Amino acid sequence: MNQLKLWKGRPNPLGAKVTPLGVNFAVFSENATGIDLCLFEDTASSMETVRLPMFEKTNNVWHCLVPGLKAGQLYGFRVHGPYEPAQGHRFNPDKLLLDPYAKAISGLVNWGPEMFGYTQDGSENADLKRDERDNAWCMPKSIVVDDAFDWGDDQLLDVAQPESIYYEVHVKGFSKLCPSIPEDLRGTYAALGHPFAIDYFKKLGVTAVELLPIHHFVNDEFLENKGLTNYWGYNSIGYFAPHSAYAHDGTSGDQVREFKEMVKALHAAGIEVILDVVYNHTGEGNHFGPMLSFRGIDNAAYYRLVQNDRRYYMDYTGTGNTLNMQHPHVLQLLMDSLRYWVTEMHVDGFRFDLAATLAREFHDVSRLSAFFDCIHQDPVISTVKLIAEPWDVGEGGYQVGNFPVLWQEWNGKYRDCLRAYWKGDMGLLGELAYRLTGSADLFEAGGRRPYASVNILTAHDGFTLYDTVAYNDKHNEANGENNQDGHNDNRSWNCGAEGPTDDEAINALRRQQLRNFLATMLLSQGVPMIVGGDEFGRTQMGNNNAYCQDNEISWFNWEHAEWQKQLIEFTARLIHERKNHPLFRRPKYFQGRRVPRAGIKDLLWFDTDGSEMNSEDWNSANRCVGMLLSGDALDIRNPEGEPVRDDTFVFLFNAYHEPVKFALPGKEHVNWEVFLNTHEESGFPAAPAAYSAGDELAVDGRTLCILRLVKGSQDDARNVAWKRSQKQDPVAPPVPPRPSRHEPIDPATIGPRFRAKHITPPAISDLAQGAKEPDHPPLK
């Protein structure tokens, strides 16, 4: 290898590209004075076998071609230039650096003082002095990868957004303890492509797995010193490389093949793959962080620096640094990475971590930022699923509802409202109505549809769904930060005891609350996202920030009690019903008025006495409301242009702790049957009870009860209404009789008895702010 020659090569593509002649290397740096290509024989090498100065620079890209090299070659860069932190420059050729475009990275960092570009003397100005120790022995290496792979007829699935059901899952945590997967596969990409995993996803009914970060990431030194790891992976250092620790062999580049095989297997089962991507910051931290790649290649170009003191980093992420989306090359890096994962790795979409950071042009978040322009004009990326976590930790960073068209958003307001409502907070009916129907108050004005709202109740960050009903307070002691980390505003309620309990009344209530949450989310308008394990009541023992818990706290426990198996069946049934009824996944917002041609209203809200909600009701402290969704007024068409029809449903919400009677809507000949009742352990009654319009139905405390219009009764009732209209004076237009409060109305309205003109809730800003604390009497 010492006899290798260096050819001129090409400035594109960036990274290492295998050619018939050898391997072409290209790396961007506009401020470097020189770059050395370093080649290694194995990962344990303490020093490179060959160091080759790259003598060509074109448009700020340093490039060369090494003839005879092949896939599997280990390499890195050493970059020369000024070490002037006050000017934003931190070049240090004593430090081996990863290629920002590396498609595979061998192993993880072995932490030591050599991994830092400055001398660690503990002083406030330590980073101003360059460290001269070599770090090659403890630094992972970039790997040359051949893109060849037999995809067969695999292609992106392009599941329609209204049809989507996302399942957020951690690659390792899903399978690490799974006895149905071979032990040597557990915790790997291969495990997610295993027949057991695919069969589980299909039986559950989800359409996509949303993987927590799989870009190669850094395990923080301070965590390793405490015996912990960066389990979630929000610390990226390689935007083209699958994380090596999730593969059988993460040292040779085989992780790329294994990831592709996983995607191919999931696609064959009709399941999309969505990546959680972290383009807002890197694993190099603040000015006291390590030197791994971007900082040493061109710190001033890659990072947002404080304008008046470029020694320091702008931090909109809470991690120490922010990538510089104002620089065209950083935008190119992001777009090249996204396109690579779609075109070469066949992923179906992306969830963008702290996406508000990416849209900060100067300081404010901008809908017209270059980031959005790049995404929207790109012929590849604009066609896949784009999901934003629509906030960051900077000023003005909470941007729910403010992303442009093409984007879906994690709806944090949905989570906060539904959690508060089901634990018994008052004054939420108006907002609840918006959240159940697709959050038009957030998304409609921007030209988006209900499926712009990704309805979340939980996420990796926070309590699991079970812990939301089992803990009032976080219990993060295992993180080693004196329980100071993690959210304090969890909007949770432990149902009467903190954590595990033998009290069957409390456990029964917890199971009921789980059914309330799952049924509400999976039958709301918008796109539901289930956090892996919530379908069987996974617990993290009250830890709401398990980012560093690579152990049983975070891993799935596949030994399920009977109630957990029943909850999985309940969740799968809910997903089946969502898929079976277009009414639960409308691609358009409700109108709340008579739909043209149908002549009936698509949505009605009513009080417990059957009368339509008025402004006084919306502003009350009540915790009960009825919602009628008409299946004959969908106002949507199938691909062949034919009108779509569905059943008509009534939702009866009771978040009060005692039973409440609801008067059922309709006129004579209108009959209802119970479709779902969360008070029952099965959720779906085996022998549904039947009721007639005008009957009073007692809905148990803290219960969602859904009724379906009995087929045939609706048509009979319509005929009665039509015949009645013919008996009126043909000269004057027919005037429907004004019903009394105790007389069932003409079912041609398909709705409750009228009392006021208000059909949809008032604007959120006009709602009275009710009490925030739940009224929870002692359990009986």
Which residues are the active-site residues?
353, 389
- Find residue 652's DSSP bridge partners: 626, 705
Q: What is the DSSP string of 517-535?
A: HHHHHHTSBSEEEEETTGG
* Residue 529: strand pairing partners: 166, 456
Beta strand 385-388 pairing with 349-352: parallel
* C-beta separation of 313 from 107 below 8 A: no
φ/ψ region of 750 (left if φ > 0, alpha if ψ in -120 to 50, else beta) reads left
- How many beta carbons lie within 10 A of that of residue 416, not counting itself? 18
Distance between CA 36 and CA 54 in Å, rounded?
Answer: 6
Take residue 423 and report the two structure tokens written for it. Answer: 């634990």
For residue 688, is the peptide bond before it cis, meaning its omega torsion is within 30 degrees of 0? no
Q: How many CA atoms lie within 13 A of 163 on its CB side?
A: 9
Q: Are 599 and 747 in contact (CB under 8 A)?
A: no
Using omega within 30 degrees of 0 as the cis cutoff, is the peptide bond preceding 13 cis? yes
Residue ranges in 481-558 assigned as alpha helix (H): 504-522
Cα 777–chain centre separation: 35
Whether 264 contacts 151, CB under 8 Å: yes
d(C-alpha 652, C-alpha 698), whole Å? 10
Return d(Cα 324, Cα 436) in angstroms, integer.
38
- The answer to whether 394 and 357 have CB atoms below 8 angstroms apart is yes
**In which element (H, E) is residue 618 found?**
helix 615-618
Distance CA 496, CA 754 (A): 39
Token pair in block for residue 183: 């032990």
Alpha-helix runs per DSSP H in 710-770: 713-726
Token digits of residue 48: 């490179």
H helix count then E strand count, the chain = 17, 29
Judged by DSSP in three states, 328 sits in: helix
